[in-house]
Amino acid sequence: MNIPDDLKYSKEHEWVKVEGNIATIGITDFAQGELGDLVYVEVETVGEELEKDEIFGTVEAVKTTSDLFMPVSGKVIEFNEEIDENEGDNPSLINEDPYGKGWVIKVEMSDESELEDLMDGEAYRELVD
């Protein structure tokens, strides 16, 4: 299982990559493996200000649907076009490359101190092992 050490992780299995005050968010390799083949990703929160732990979207696999939770507060500024059914429509990118092309949203963070509440790679490994 791939758990990069340069990312932050939430207990709900989202990952966060920070560049300045922009957070790129996706679901972890562990989460996509548990869900199975993803068939649909819905994010209708672009342009909205959301608080940490609020639902920003859902992912649907063949057998289940799962909510996606904000690991940090902020404004959702972008939804990955390649996994959006209205654009590229390839949600399987999350299965294939969860930390790269399979990212889900980008957020302009409103409280960077919330990053301290997230786990590093080692702590996340302990959670899922």
CATH number of 8-113: 2.40.50.100
Task: For the chain, give every domain's residue range.
Answer: 8-113
Question: Mapped to the 3 state alphabet, what secondary structure does the chain carry?
Answer: CCCCCCCEECCCCEEEEEECCEEEEEECHHHHHHHCCEEEEECCCCCCEECCCCEEEEEEECCCEEEEECCCCEEEEEECHHHCCCCCCCCHHHHHCCCCCCCCEEEEECCHHHHHHCECHHHHHHHHC
Report the pLDDT value the prediction gives residue 29, as an integer from 0 to 100: 97
> Tell me: the pLDDT tens digits for 5-22?
999 999 999 999 999 999
Tell me what the mean pLDDT of segment 19-35 comes to.
Answer: 96
Report the pLDDT value the prediction gives residue 39, as an integer from 0 to 100: 94
Q: Does the pLDDT at position 85 exceed 90?
A: no
Q: Does the pLDDT at position 87 exceed 90?
A: no
How much of the chain, in percent, has pLDDT values that exceed 70?
A: 100
| Residue 95 pLDDT grade (very low, low, confident, very high; cuts 50, 70, 90) | very high
pTM equals 0.95
Tell me what the mean pLDDT of segment 87-96 comes to.
Answer: 91
